Protein backbone atom coordinates (compact mmCIF):
# COMPACT_ATOMS: atom_id res chain seq x y z
CA UNK A 1 0.00 0.00 0.00
CA UNK A 2 2.64 2.51 1.03
CA UNK A 3 4.66 2.22 -2.13
CA UNK A 4 6.35 5.31 -3.50
CA UNK A 5 7.50 3.31 -6.52
CA UNK A 6 3.98 3.46 -7.94
CA UNK A 7 4.49 7.13 -8.73
CA UNK A 8 7.82 6.68 -10.47
CA UNK A 9 6.51 6.00 -13.99
CA UNK A 10 4.40 9.14 -13.80
CA UNK A 11 7.26 11.18 -12.37
CA UNK A 12 9.36 10.12 -15.37
CA UNK A 13 6.43 10.91 -17.68
CA UNK A 14 6.06 14.40 -16.19
CA UNK A 15 9.80 15.00 -16.56
CA UNK A 16 9.64 14.17 -20.27
CA UNK A 17 6.23 15.54 -21.26
CA UNK A 18 5.60 18.40 -18.84
CA UNK A 19 8.92 19.80 -17.64
CA UNK A 20 11.15 19.16 -20.68
CA UNK A 21 8.73 20.80 -23.17
CA UNK A 22 8.53 23.93 -21.03
CA UNK A 23 12.32 24.07 -20.80
CA UNK A 24 12.37 23.83 -24.60
CA UNK A 25 10.03 26.83 -24.82
CA UNK A 26 12.37 28.70 -22.50
CA UNK A 27 15.42 27.85 -24.61
CA UNK A 28 13.68 28.63 -27.88
CA UNK A 29 12.55 32.00 -26.56
CA UNK A 30 16.18 33.04 -26.12
CA UNK A 31 17.38 31.56 -29.39
CA UNK A 32 17.14 32.39 -33.07
CA UNK A 33 18.15 29.09 -34.60
CA UNK A 34 21.88 29.71 -34.56
CA UNK A 35 22.74 31.44 -31.31
CA UNK A 36 21.33 32.72 -28.05
CA UNK A 37 19.86 36.17 -28.36
CA UNK A 38 17.37 38.61 -26.91
CA UNK A 39 16.02 39.73 -30.28
CA UNK A 40 12.76 37.79 -29.83
CA UNK A 41 11.96 39.96 -26.85
CA UNK A 42 12.97 43.13 -28.62
CA UNK A 43 10.49 42.26 -31.36
CA UNK A 44 7.80 42.03 -28.70
CA UNK A 45 7.19 45.80 -28.76
CA UNK A 46 5.55 45.42 -32.17
CA UNK A 47 2.93 43.22 -30.60
CA UNK A 48 2.12 45.40 -27.60
CA UNK A 49 -1.29 46.16 -29.10
CA UNK A 50 -2.08 42.45 -29.43
CA UNK A 51 -1.08 41.86 -25.81
CA UNK A 52 -3.23 44.75 -24.67
CA UNK A 53 -6.23 43.64 -26.73
CA UNK A 54 -6.01 40.02 -25.57
CA UNK A 55 -5.80 40.88 -21.92
CA UNK A 56 -8.54 43.48 -22.21
CA UNK A 57 -11.00 41.18 -24.00
CA UNK A 58 -10.23 38.33 -21.60
CA UNK A 59 -10.71 40.64 -18.61
CA UNK A 60 -14.07 41.85 -19.96
CA UNK A 61 -15.19 38.26 -20.58
CA UNK A 62 -14.11 37.25 -17.07
CA UNK A 63 -15.96 40.18 -15.53
CA UNK A 64 -19.15 39.34 -17.43
CA UNK A 65 -18.79 35.72 -16.35
CA UNK A 66 -18.61 36.81 -12.70
CA UNK A 67 -21.60 39.13 -13.09
CA UNK A 68 -23.72 36.37 -14.61
CA UNK A 69 -22.13 33.37 -12.93
CA UNK A 70 -22.21 34.54 -9.33
CA UNK A 71 -25.95 35.21 -9.10
CA UNK A 72 -26.68 32.02 -11.02
CA UNK A 73 -24.52 29.96 -8.65
CA UNK A 74 -26.03 31.70 -5.63
CA UNK A 75 -29.66 31.26 -6.71
CA UNK A 76 -28.96 27.70 -7.72
CA UNK A 77 -27.50 26.87 -4.31
CA UNK A 78 -30.80 27.96 -2.74
CA UNK A 79 -32.89 25.53 -4.76
CA UNK A 80 -33.92 22.07 -3.54
CA UNK A 81 -31.46 19.17 -3.84
CA UNK A 82 -33.23 17.57 -6.81
CA UNK A 83 -33.26 20.72 -8.92
CA UNK A 84 -29.68 21.46 -7.87
CA UNK A 85 -28.48 18.11 -9.16
CA UNK A 86 -30.32 18.44 -12.45
CA UNK A 87 -29.11 22.01 -12.89
CA UNK A 88 -25.46 21.02 -12.38
CA UNK A 89 -25.83 18.35 -15.03
CA UNK A 90 -27.58 20.77 -17.37
CA UNK A 91 -24.73 23.26 -16.95
CA UNK A 92 -22.09 20.62 -17.58
CA UNK A 93 -23.80 19.00 -20.54
CA UNK A 94 -22.64 21.53 -23.18
CA UNK A 95 -19.06 20.83 -22.09
CA UNK A 96 -19.45 17.28 -23.33
CA UNK A 97 -19.82 18.46 -26.88
CA UNK A 98 -16.75 20.00 -28.36
CA UNK A 99 -16.75 23.76 -27.87
CA UNK A 100 -15.96 24.36 -31.53
CA UNK A 101 -19.31 22.89 -32.55
CA UNK A 102 -21.08 25.47 -30.44
CA UNK A 103 -18.81 28.28 -31.53
CA UNK A 104 -19.66 27.36 -35.10
CA UNK A 105 -23.33 27.55 -34.17
CA UNK A 106 -22.82 31.08 -32.87
CA UNK A 107 -21.53 31.98 -36.32
CA UNK A 108 -24.92 31.18 -37.83
CA UNK A 109 -26.68 33.09 -35.06
CA UNK A 110 -24.58 36.24 -35.37
CA UNK A 111 -24.01 36.44 -39.13
CA UNK A 112 -25.14 39.44 -41.14
CA UNK A 113 -27.86 37.30 -42.67
CA UNK A 114 -27.96 35.15 -39.56
CA UNK A 115 -30.74 34.18 -37.21
CA UNK A 116 -30.58 37.20 -34.92
CA UNK A 117 -30.51 39.68 -37.77
CA UNK A 118 -33.42 37.88 -39.47
CA UNK A 119 -35.31 38.06 -36.19
CA UNK A 120 -34.54 41.75 -35.74
CA UNK A 121 -35.75 42.42 -39.25
CA UNK A 122 -38.96 40.43 -38.78
CA UNK A 123 -39.89 42.25 -35.58
CA UNK A 124 -39.00 45.58 -37.19
CA UNK A 125 -36.14 46.38 -34.83
CA UNK A 126 -33.75 47.31 -37.62
CA UNK A 127 -36.32 49.62 -39.24
CA UNK A 128 -37.02 51.12 -35.82
CA UNK A 129 -33.37 51.87 -35.16
CA UNK A 130 -32.96 53.30 -38.64
CA UNK A 131 -36.02 55.48 -38.10
CA UNK A 132 -34.87 56.68 -34.68
CA UNK A 133 -31.25 57.40 -35.43
CA UNK A 134 -31.37 58.12 -39.16
CA UNK A 135 -29.01 55.27 -39.92
CA UNK A 136 -29.50 52.81 -42.74
CA UNK A 137 -28.64 49.38 -41.44
CA UNK A 138 -29.78 46.44 -43.48
CA UNK A 139 -28.38 44.32 -40.68
CA UNK A 140 -26.56 44.86 -37.38
CA UNK A 141 -22.90 43.97 -37.76
CA UNK A 142 -22.33 41.44 -34.99
CA UNK A 143 -20.04 38.74 -36.38
CA UNK A 144 -16.37 39.60 -36.87
CA UNK A 145 -16.40 42.15 -34.06
CA UNK A 146 -14.71 42.19 -30.68
CA UNK A 147 -18.13 41.88 -29.09
CA UNK A 148 -18.66 38.56 -30.85
CA UNK A 149 -15.32 37.30 -29.54
CA UNK A 150 -16.19 38.30 -25.98
CA UNK A 151 -19.57 36.61 -26.39
CA UNK A 152 -17.81 33.45 -27.55
CA UNK A 153 -15.51 33.53 -24.53
CA UNK A 154 -18.38 34.12 -22.10
CA UNK A 155 -20.43 31.36 -23.67
CA UNK A 156 -17.65 28.79 -23.63
CA UNK A 157 -16.25 29.49 -20.19
CA UNK A 158 -19.32 30.51 -18.17
CA UNK A 159 -19.83 26.97 -16.77
CA UNK A 160 -16.26 27.13 -15.43
CA UNK A 161 -17.28 30.19 -13.42
CA UNK A 162 -20.65 28.92 -12.21
CA UNK A 163 -19.54 25.48 -11.03
CA UNK A 164 -16.71 26.38 -8.62
CA UNK A 165 -18.72 29.22 -7.06
CA UNK A 166 -21.73 26.93 -6.74
CA UNK A 167 -19.62 24.20 -5.11
CA UNK A 168 -18.25 26.62 -2.53
CA UNK A 169 -21.61 28.21 -1.68
CA UNK A 170 -23.26 24.81 -1.44
CA UNK A 171 -20.68 23.73 1.13
CA UNK A 172 -21.39 26.65 3.47
CA UNK A 173 -22.84 25.25 6.68
CA UNK A 174 -26.50 26.36 6.85
CA UNK A 175 -26.16 26.57 10.64
CA UNK A 176 -23.70 29.43 10.15
CA UNK A 177 -26.38 31.34 8.29
CA UNK A 178 -29.01 30.51 10.89
CA UNK A 179 -26.64 31.64 13.63
CA UNK A 180 -26.08 34.93 11.84
CA UNK A 181 -29.83 35.40 11.41
CA UNK A 182 -30.46 34.57 15.08
CA UNK A 183 -27.99 37.26 15.98
CA UNK A 184 -30.09 39.71 14.02
CA UNK A 185 -28.31 39.95 10.67
CA UNK A 186 -30.50 40.88 7.74
CA UNK A 187 -30.26 38.94 4.47
CA UNK A 188 -28.08 41.68 3.00
CA UNK A 189 -25.69 41.51 5.95
CA UNK A 190 -25.63 37.70 5.87
CA UNK A 191 -24.66 37.89 2.23
CA UNK A 192 -22.08 40.63 2.61
CA UNK A 193 -20.41 39.44 5.79
CA UNK A 194 -20.80 35.69 5.51
CA UNK A 195 -21.64 34.19 2.16
CA UNK A 196 -19.61 36.46 -0.08
CA UNK A 197 -16.35 36.19 1.91
CA UNK A 198 -16.74 32.42 2.11
CA UNK A 199 -17.31 32.16 -1.63
CA UNK A 200 -14.18 34.11 -2.62
CA UNK A 201 -12.11 30.92 -3.20
CA UNK A 202 -14.75 29.81 -5.68
CA UNK A 203 -14.60 33.13 -7.52
CA UNK A 204 -10.81 33.02 -7.67
CA UNK A 205 -10.84 29.51 -9.03
CA UNK A 206 -13.49 30.53 -11.58
CA UNK A 207 -11.51 33.58 -12.63
CA UNK A 208 -8.46 31.41 -13.32
CA UNK A 209 -10.51 28.95 -15.32
CA UNK A 210 -12.11 31.69 -17.44
CA UNK A 211 -9.29 34.19 -17.79
CA UNK A 212 -6.41 31.89 -18.76
CA UNK A 213 -8.15 30.13 -21.67
CA UNK A 214 -9.68 33.44 -22.80
CA UNK A 215 -6.31 35.17 -23.05
CA UNK A 216 -4.85 32.34 -25.07
CA UNK A 217 -7.76 31.46 -27.34
CA UNK A 218 -7.34 31.45 -31.07
CA UNK A 219 -10.19 29.28 -32.29
CA UNK A 220 -12.88 31.62 -30.92
CA UNK A 221 -11.23 34.71 -32.34
CA UNK A 222 -10.73 33.02 -35.70
CA UNK A 223 -14.31 31.79 -35.97
CA UNK A 224 -16.22 34.69 -34.44
CA UNK A 225 -13.70 37.43 -35.18
CA UNK A 226 -13.26 36.25 -38.75
CA UNK A 227 -9.51 36.80 -38.55
CA UNK A 228 -10.13 40.55 -38.33
CA UNK A 229 -9.08 40.71 -34.68
CA UNK A 230 -5.68 39.24 -33.86
CA UNK A 231 -5.27 37.93 -30.32
CA UNK A 232 -2.23 36.42 -28.61
CA UNK A 233 -3.39 32.91 -29.45
CA UNK A 234 -3.58 33.77 -33.16
CA UNK A 235 -0.14 35.32 -32.99
CA UNK A 236 1.39 32.23 -31.38
CA UNK A 237 -0.47 29.89 -33.70
CA UNK A 238 0.85 31.59 -36.85
CA UNK A 239 4.41 31.33 -35.51
CA UNK A 240 4.11 27.57 -35.15
CA UNK A 241 1.69 26.35 -37.78
CA UNK A 242 0.72 29.36 -39.83
CA UNK A 243 2.32 31.39 -42.56
CA UNK A 244 5.04 33.19 -40.61
CA UNK A 245 6.86 30.16 -39.24
CA UNK A 246 9.10 31.27 -36.39
CA UNK A 247 8.94 29.00 -33.34
CA UNK A 248 11.58 31.12 -31.62
CA UNK A 249 9.44 34.22 -31.63
CA UNK A 250 6.38 32.08 -30.89
CA UNK A 251 8.11 30.63 -27.82
CA UNK A 252 9.08 34.10 -26.63
CA UNK A 253 5.47 35.33 -26.98
CA UNK A 254 4.20 32.24 -25.12
CA UNK A 255 6.75 32.82 -22.39
CA UNK A 256 5.79 36.46 -21.88
CA UNK A 257 2.09 35.58 -21.93
CA UNK A 258 2.67 32.84 -19.37
CA UNK A 259 4.67 35.20 -17.16
CA UNK A 260 1.98 37.91 -17.21
CA UNK A 261 -0.74 35.35 -16.47
CA UNK A 262 1.25 33.83 -13.59
CA UNK A 263 2.00 37.23 -12.09
CA UNK A 264 -1.62 38.37 -12.28
CA UNK A 265 -2.77 35.08 -10.73
CA UNK A 266 -0.24 35.43 -7.91
CA UNK A 267 -1.35 39.01 -7.23
CA UNK A 268 -4.99 37.99 -7.31
CA UNK A 269 -4.46 35.06 -4.96
CA UNK A 270 -2.52 37.21 -2.54
CA UNK A 271 -5.28 39.77 -2.72
CA UNK A 272 -7.96 37.15 -2.09
CA UNK A 273 -5.83 35.13 0.31
CA UNK A 274 -7.26 32.08 -1.40
CA UNK A 275 -5.80 29.29 0.66
CA UNK A 276 -8.50 26.83 -0.05
CA UNK A 277 -8.72 25.31 -3.46
CA UNK A 278 -12.14 25.12 -5.00
CA UNK A 279 -12.10 22.40 -7.56
CA UNK A 280 -14.43 21.88 -10.42
CA UNK A 281 -16.88 19.10 -9.50
CA UNK B 1 -31.85 30.32 3.42
CA UNK B 2 -34.77 31.97 1.75
CA UNK B 3 -36.27 30.39 -1.31
CA UNK B 4 -35.95 32.01 -4.68
CA UNK B 5 -38.66 34.22 -5.99
CA UNK B 6 -39.69 34.62 -9.57
CA UNK B 7 -36.98 37.08 -10.64
CA UNK B 8 -34.19 34.81 -9.49
CA UNK B 9 -35.65 31.83 -11.27
CA UNK B 10 -35.99 33.95 -14.41
CA UNK B 11 -32.25 34.63 -14.37
CA UNK B 12 -31.56 30.91 -14.04
CA UNK B 13 -33.91 30.18 -16.92
CA UNK B 14 -32.34 32.87 -19.12
CA UNK B 15 -28.86 31.50 -18.44
CA UNK B 16 -29.96 28.05 -19.48
CA UNK B 17 -31.52 29.48 -22.64
CA UNK B 18 -28.21 31.21 -23.36
CA UNK B 19 -26.23 28.01 -22.79
CA UNK B 20 -28.51 25.90 -24.96
CA UNK B 21 -29.48 28.32 -27.74
CA UNK B 22 -26.57 27.39 -30.02
CA UNK B 23 -27.13 23.71 -29.40
CA UNK B 24 -30.78 23.96 -30.37
CA UNK B 25 -29.87 25.98 -33.44
CA UNK B 26 -27.47 23.21 -34.44
CA UNK B 27 -30.12 20.55 -33.94
CA UNK B 28 -32.86 22.51 -35.70
CA UNK B 29 -30.85 23.16 -38.84
CA UNK B 30 -29.61 19.59 -39.04
CA UNK B 31 -33.11 18.81 -40.38
CA UNK B 32 -33.00 21.56 -42.97
CA UNK B 33 -33.74 20.65 -46.57
CA UNK B 34 -31.36 23.24 -48.00
CA UNK B 35 -27.69 23.83 -47.43
CA UNK B 36 -28.33 27.10 -45.60
CA UNK B 37 -27.65 27.13 -41.88
CA UNK B 38 -29.82 30.17 -41.27
CA UNK B 39 -32.85 29.90 -43.58
CA UNK B 40 -35.34 27.12 -43.03
CA UNK B 41 -36.14 25.30 -46.27
CA UNK B 42 -38.30 22.45 -45.07
CA UNK B 43 -37.74 19.18 -43.26
CA UNK B 44 -35.29 16.63 -44.53
CA UNK B 45 -32.93 13.97 -43.26
CA UNK B 46 -30.48 14.35 -46.12
CA UNK B 47 -27.62 15.60 -43.94
CA UNK B 48 -27.81 12.49 -41.80
CA UNK B 49 -27.67 10.34 -44.92
CA UNK B 50 -24.73 12.29 -46.28
CA UNK B 51 -23.00 12.21 -42.91
CA UNK B 52 -22.80 8.44 -43.04
CA UNK B 53 -21.24 8.66 -46.49
CA UNK B 54 -18.69 11.29 -45.49
CA UNK B 55 -15.46 9.48 -44.71
CA UNK B 56 -13.61 12.58 -43.52
CA UNK B 57 -16.15 13.41 -40.79
CA UNK B 58 -16.68 9.80 -39.77
CA UNK B 59 -12.98 9.14 -39.43
CA UNK B 60 -12.60 12.38 -37.47
CA UNK B 61 -15.33 11.18 -35.13
CA UNK B 62 -13.60 7.82 -34.77
CA UNK B 63 -10.29 9.54 -34.02
CA UNK B 64 -11.93 11.78 -31.40
CA UNK B 65 -13.59 8.88 -29.62
CA UNK B 66 -10.56 6.61 -29.87
CA UNK B 67 -8.09 9.16 -28.53
CA UNK B 68 -10.47 10.18 -25.72
CA UNK B 69 -11.25 6.61 -24.64
CA UNK B 70 -7.64 5.43 -24.81
CA UNK B 71 -6.23 8.52 -23.11
CA UNK B 72 -8.77 8.48 -20.28
CA UNK B 73 -8.31 4.75 -19.66
CA UNK B 74 -4.52 5.08 -19.58
CA UNK B 75 -4.91 8.11 -17.33
CA UNK B 76 -7.25 6.12 -15.07
CA UNK B 77 -4.63 3.43 -14.39
CA UNK B 78 -1.55 5.66 -14.39
CA UNK B 79 -3.24 8.41 -12.38
CA UNK B 80 -4.50 6.05 -9.68
CA UNK B 81 -1.08 4.43 -9.34
CA UNK B 82 0.62 7.82 -9.26
CA UNK B 83 -1.81 9.16 -6.65
CA UNK B 84 -1.09 6.17 -4.42
CA UNK B 85 2.63 6.68 -4.87
CA UNK B 86 2.28 10.38 -4.06
CA UNK B 87 0.29 9.55 -0.93
CA UNK B 88 3.14 7.38 0.30
CA UNK B 89 5.66 10.18 -0.07
CA UNK B 90 6.88 12.70 2.44
CA UNK B 91 5.02 15.96 2.51
CA UNK B 92 7.70 17.98 0.77
CA UNK B 93 8.32 15.81 -2.24
CA UNK B 94 4.59 15.23 -2.57
CA UNK B 95 4.03 18.97 -2.59
CA UNK B 96 6.64 19.55 -5.30
CA UNK B 97 5.31 16.77 -7.50
CA UNK B 98 1.73 17.94 -7.09
CA UNK B 99 2.76 21.42 -8.23
CA UNK B 100 4.29 19.93 -11.38
CA UNK B 101 1.19 17.80 -11.78
CA UNK B 102 -0.92 20.97 -11.78
CA UNK B 103 1.07 22.67 -14.53
CA UNK B 104 -0.97 21.28 -17.46
CA UNK B 105 -4.17 22.28 -15.64
CA UNK B 106 -3.26 25.90 -15.00
CA UNK B 107 -1.23 26.53 -18.12
CA UNK B 108 -3.04 27.84 -21.17
CA UNK B 109 -3.79 25.03 -23.60
CA UNK B 110 -1.86 26.72 -26.34
CA UNK B 111 1.31 26.74 -24.24
CA UNK B 112 0.93 23.04 -23.47
CA UNK B 113 0.28 22.35 -27.14
CA UNK B 114 3.15 24.47 -28.41
CA UNK B 115 5.66 23.11 -25.90
CA UNK B 116 4.74 19.50 -26.68
CA UNK B 117 4.90 20.17 -30.41
CA UNK B 118 8.45 21.50 -29.95
CA UNK B 119 9.40 18.35 -28.06
CA UNK B 120 7.87 16.06 -30.68
CA UNK B 121 9.45 18.01 -33.50
CA UNK B 122 12.94 17.72 -31.99
CA UNK B 123 12.54 14.10 -30.88
CA UNK B 124 11.16 12.97 -34.23
CA UNK B 125 13.81 14.95 -36.09
CA UNK B 126 16.57 13.37 -33.99
CA UNK B 127 15.13 9.90 -34.46
CA UNK B 128 14.73 10.24 -38.22
CA UNK B 129 18.28 11.53 -38.60
CA UNK B 130 19.84 8.64 -36.70
CA UNK B 131 18.07 5.36 -35.94
CA UNK B 132 15.31 5.98 -38.42
CA UNK B 133 17.77 6.66 -41.20
CA UNK B 134 19.63 3.45 -40.47
CA UNK B 135 16.48 1.38 -40.26
CA UNK B 136 14.68 3.16 -43.06
CA UNK B 137 11.84 4.40 -40.87
CA UNK B 138 10.52 7.95 -41.04
CA UNK B 139 8.37 9.02 -38.11
CA UNK B 140 5.95 11.94 -38.16
CA UNK B 141 3.50 13.57 -35.80
CA UNK B 142 0.24 11.68 -35.79
CA UNK B 143 -2.15 9.72 -33.62
CA UNK B 144 0.63 8.55 -31.30
CA UNK B 145 1.90 12.01 -30.46
CA UNK B 146 -1.66 13.26 -29.98
CA UNK B 147 -2.39 10.34 -27.63
CA UNK B 148 0.72 11.15 -25.57
CA UNK B 149 -0.44 14.76 -25.29
CA UNK B 150 -3.94 13.71 -24.21
CA UNK B 151 -2.59 11.30 -21.60
CA UNK B 152 -0.37 14.10 -20.30
CA UNK B 153 -3.25 16.48 -19.67
CA UNK B 154 -5.71 13.75 -18.56
CA UNK B 155 -3.65 12.19 -15.75
CA UNK B 156 -3.72 15.31 -13.51
CA UNK B 157 -7.52 15.21 -13.39
CA UNK B 158 -7.53 11.59 -12.24
CA UNK B 159 -4.88 12.32 -9.60
CA UNK B 160 -6.78 15.34 -8.31
CA UNK B 161 -9.96 13.36 -7.83
CA UNK B 162 -8.31 10.22 -6.38
CA UNK B 163 -6.08 12.11 -3.89
CA UNK B 164 -8.86 13.26 -1.52
CA UNK B 165 -10.22 9.70 -1.38
CA UNK B 166 -6.77 8.39 -0.47
CA UNK B 167 -6.49 10.90 2.29
CA UNK B 168 -9.77 9.73 3.81
CA UNK B 169 -8.62 6.13 3.70
CA UNK B 170 -7.96 4.42 7.01
CA UNK B 171 -4.51 2.77 6.65
CA UNK B 172 -5.39 0.24 9.32
CA UNK B 173 -8.03 -1.36 7.12
CA UNK B 174 -5.37 -2.56 4.71
CA UNK B 175 -3.30 -3.90 7.60
CA UNK B 176 -6.36 -5.61 9.02
CA UNK B 177 -6.98 -7.27 5.66
CA UNK B 178 -3.41 -8.50 5.61
CA UNK B 179 -3.67 -9.78 9.17
CA UNK B 180 -6.70 -11.75 8.06
CA UNK B 181 -4.60 -13.39 5.38
CA UNK B 182 -5.31 -11.27 2.28
CA UNK B 183 -2.13 -10.66 0.38
CA UNK B 184 -0.80 -7.73 -1.64
CA UNK B 185 -2.85 -7.16 -4.71
CA UNK B 186 -5.83 -9.17 -3.43
CA UNK B 187 -6.08 -6.97 -0.35
CA UNK B 188 -5.76 -3.90 -2.54
CA UNK B 189 -8.50 -5.06 -4.88
CA UNK B 190 -10.89 -6.08 -2.14
CA UNK B 191 -10.24 -3.38 0.45
CA UNK B 192 -8.64 -0.25 -1.01
CA UNK B 193 -10.07 -0.17 -4.49
CA UNK B 194 -13.77 -0.07 -3.52
CA UNK B 195 -13.06 2.98 -1.38
CA UNK B 196 -11.16 4.73 -4.16
CA UNK B 197 -13.66 3.78 -6.87
CA UNK B 198 -15.86 6.90 -6.80
CA UNK B 199 -12.78 9.10 -7.12
CA UNK B 200 -11.35 6.98 -9.92
CA UNK B 201 -14.62 6.96 -11.87
CA UNK B 202 -15.13 10.67 -11.38
CA UNK B 203 -11.57 11.47 -12.45
CA UNK B 204 -11.82 9.27 -15.52
CA UNK B 205 -15.07 10.91 -16.58
CA UNK B 206 -13.54 14.37 -16.22
CA UNK B 207 -10.48 13.22 -18.17
CA UNK B 208 -12.70 11.87 -20.94
CA UNK B 209 -14.69 15.11 -21.03
CA UNK B 210 -11.52 17.16 -21.31
CA UNK B 211 -10.26 14.97 -24.14
CA UNK B 212 -13.50 15.25 -26.09
CA UNK B 213 -13.62 18.99 -25.53
CA UNK B 214 -10.00 19.58 -26.49
CA UNK B 215 -9.12 21.29 -29.72
CA UNK B 216 -5.99 23.33 -29.17
CA UNK B 217 -3.62 20.65 -27.87
CA UNK B 218 -4.73 18.13 -30.51
CA UNK B 219 -4.30 20.78 -33.18
CA UNK B 220 -0.66 21.31 -32.26
CA UNK B 221 0.30 17.68 -31.69
CA UNK B 222 -1.64 15.66 -34.28
CA UNK B 223 0.28 16.71 -37.38
CA UNK B 224 -1.58 16.94 -40.65
CA UNK B 225 -2.52 13.33 -41.26
CA UNK B 226 -5.06 12.72 -38.55
CA UNK B 227 -7.72 15.10 -37.37
CA UNK B 228 -10.31 15.14 -34.65
CA UNK B 229 -13.86 16.35 -35.08
CA UNK B 230 -12.95 19.77 -33.71
CA UNK B 231 -10.02 20.07 -36.11
CA UNK B 232 -12.34 19.12 -38.96
CA UNK B 233 -14.82 21.83 -37.97
CA UNK B 234 -12.02 24.35 -37.62
CA UNK B 235 -10.60 23.65 -41.06
CA UNK B 236 -14.12 23.68 -42.55
CA UNK B 237 -14.87 27.07 -41.02
CA UNK B 238 -12.37 28.65 -43.37
CA UNK B 239 -14.24 27.28 -46.35
CA UNK B 240 -17.91 26.48 -45.96
CA UNK B 241 -19.25 24.35 -43.18
CA UNK B 242 -21.49 21.54 -44.32
CA UNK B 243 -24.75 20.93 -42.41
CA UNK B 244 -23.43 17.42 -41.88
CA UNK B 245 -21.69 19.00 -38.90
CA UNK B 246 -25.14 19.91 -37.55
CA UNK B 247 -26.22 16.33 -38.01
CA UNK B 248 -23.22 14.91 -36.17
CA UNK B 249 -23.63 17.48 -33.36
CA UNK B 250 -27.23 16.39 -32.95
CA UNK B 251 -26.23 12.75 -32.73
CA UNK B 252 -23.49 13.57 -30.22
CA UNK B 253 -25.83 15.63 -28.10
CA UNK B 254 -28.47 12.92 -28.05
CA UNK B 255 -25.96 10.22 -27.09
CA UNK B 256 -24.54 12.31 -24.26
CA UNK B 257 -28.03 13.11 -23.05
CA UNK B 258 -29.07 9.46 -23.17
CA UNK B 259 -25.93 8.43 -21.32
CA UNK B 260 -26.54 10.97 -18.58
CA UNK B 261 -30.17 9.99 -18.17
CA UNK B 262 -29.24 6.30 -17.89
CA UNK B 263 -26.47 6.97 -15.37
CA UNK B 264 -28.75 9.16 -13.28
CA UNK B 265 -31.68 6.76 -13.35
CA UNK B 266 -29.37 3.97 -12.24
CA UNK B 267 -28.01 6.10 -9.45
CA UNK B 268 -31.46 7.08 -8.26
CA UNK B 269 -32.58 3.47 -8.34
CA UNK B 270 -29.48 2.36 -6.45
CA UNK B 271 -30.03 5.06 -3.86
CA UNK B 272 -33.63 4.15 -3.25
CA UNK B 273 -32.73 0.44 -3.14
CA UNK B 274 -30.09 1.22 -0.56
CA UNK B 275 -32.54 3.28 1.45
CA UNK B 276 -35.08 0.46 1.37
CA UNK B 277 -32.42 -2.03 2.44
CA UNK B 278 -31.33 0.17 5.28
CA UNK B 279 -34.93 0.72 6.35
CA UNK B 280 -35.47 -3.05 6.39
CA UNK B 281 -32.35 -3.60 8.45
CA UNK B 282 -33.04 -1.02 11.11
CA UNK B 283 -35.21 -2.49 13.87
CA UNK B 284 -38.56 -0.80 14.20
CA UNK B 285 -39.20 0.77 17.56
281 residues of chain A, pLDDT tens digit each: 568 889 999 999 999 999 999 999 999 999 998 899 999 999 888 999 999 999 999 999 999 999 999 999 999 988 888 888 888 888 888 888 889 999 999 998 998 888 898 888 888 888 888 888 888 888 888 989 999 999 999 999 999 999 999 999 988 888 998 999 999 988 889 889 888 999 998 999 999 899 999 999 989 999 999 888 899 999 999 999 877 889 999 999 999 999 988 888 888 877 765 444 444 43
The reply to whether A3 falls in a domain is: no
- Please work out, in degrees rounded to the nearest 5, the angle formed at the alpha carbon of residue A163 by the alpha carbons of B206 and A101: 60
B interface test, pick of A18, A19, A112, A142 with most B CB neighbours within 10 Å: A18
A14, A96, A241: residue with CB nearest B256: A96
Cα–Cα distance measured from residue B98 to residue A7, given in angstroms and rounded to the nearest whole number: 11
Question: Chain A contacts of B115, Cβ < 8 Å?
Answer: 21-22, 24-25, 254
Q: What does the pLDDT look like over A189-245, one tens digit per residue? A: 988 988 899 999 899 999 989 999 999 998 999 999 988 889 999 999 999 987 788
Looking up residue A224, the CATH number of its domain turns out to be: 1.10.3720.10
Nearest CB partner across the interface for A279, out of B97, B115, B160? B160
Question: Helix axis angle, A232-240 relative to A48-77, nearest 10°?
Answer: 120
Cβ pair A102:B23 closer than 8 A? yes
Which of A199-213, A263-277, B166-180, B255-269 shows the lowest mean pLDDT across its residues?
A: A263-277
In a domain, A87, yes or no: yes
DSSP calls for A179-231: HHHHTT--HHHIIIIIIHHHHHHHHHHHHHHHHHHHHH--HHHHHHSTTSS--
Q: What total of structural domains would you count in chain B?
A: 1
Q: Encode pLDDT of B198-242 as tens digits.
A: 899 989 998 998 999 899 999 999 988 899 999 998 988 777 788
Q: Which residues pair with B114 in a beta bridge?
A: none
Nearest by CB to A9, which of B78, B88, B220?
Answer: B78
pLDDT confidence of B169, banded at 50, 70, 90? confident
**H or E stretch at B58:** helix B55-87
Show the domain range for A226: 48-280
Q: What is the mean pLDDT of residues B172-176?
A: 83
B21/A contact by beta carbon, under 8 A: yes
Cα-trace Rg, chain A:
23
Residues of B in contact with A3 (CB under 8 A): 84-85, 88
Look at residue A31 and tell me if it is in a domain: no
Q: Closest-CA residue in chain B for A10?
A: B82
Kindly state whether residue B25 falls inside one of the protein's structural domains: no
- The shortest CB-CB distance from B114 to any of A87, A96, A254 is to A254
What pLDDT does residue A272 have? Answer: 62
Q: Give the C-alpha separation, B206 to B200, whole Å.
A: 10
Residue of A nearest to B188 (CA): A1
Domain count, chain A: 1
Instruction: Please give the model's pTM, rounded to 2 decimal places.
Output: 0.89
More confident call, B203 vs B272: B203
User: How far is the C-alpha of A194 from the C-alpha of A176, rounded, in Å?
Assistant: 8
- Domain range for B232 is 54-281
In a domain, A163, yes or no: yes
Q: Is the pLDDT of residue B192 over 50?
A: yes
Amino acid sequence: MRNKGLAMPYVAWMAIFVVAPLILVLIYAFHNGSSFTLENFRAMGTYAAVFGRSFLLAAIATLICILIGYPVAWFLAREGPGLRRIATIVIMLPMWMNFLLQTYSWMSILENTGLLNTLFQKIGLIALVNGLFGTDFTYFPMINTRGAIVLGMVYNYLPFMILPIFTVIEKIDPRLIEAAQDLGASSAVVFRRLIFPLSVPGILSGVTMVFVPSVATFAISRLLGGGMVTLLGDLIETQFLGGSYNPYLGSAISLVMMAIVLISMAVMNRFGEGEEEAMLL
Amino acid sequence: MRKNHFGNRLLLALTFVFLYAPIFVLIFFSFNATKSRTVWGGFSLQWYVRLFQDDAILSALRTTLLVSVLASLIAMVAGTAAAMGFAAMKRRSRHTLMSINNIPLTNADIVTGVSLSLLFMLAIGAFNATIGKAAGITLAKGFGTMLIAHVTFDIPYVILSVMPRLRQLDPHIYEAAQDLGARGFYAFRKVILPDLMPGIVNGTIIAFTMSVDDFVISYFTAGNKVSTLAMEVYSMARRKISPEINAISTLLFISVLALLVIVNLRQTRQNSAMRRQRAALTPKT
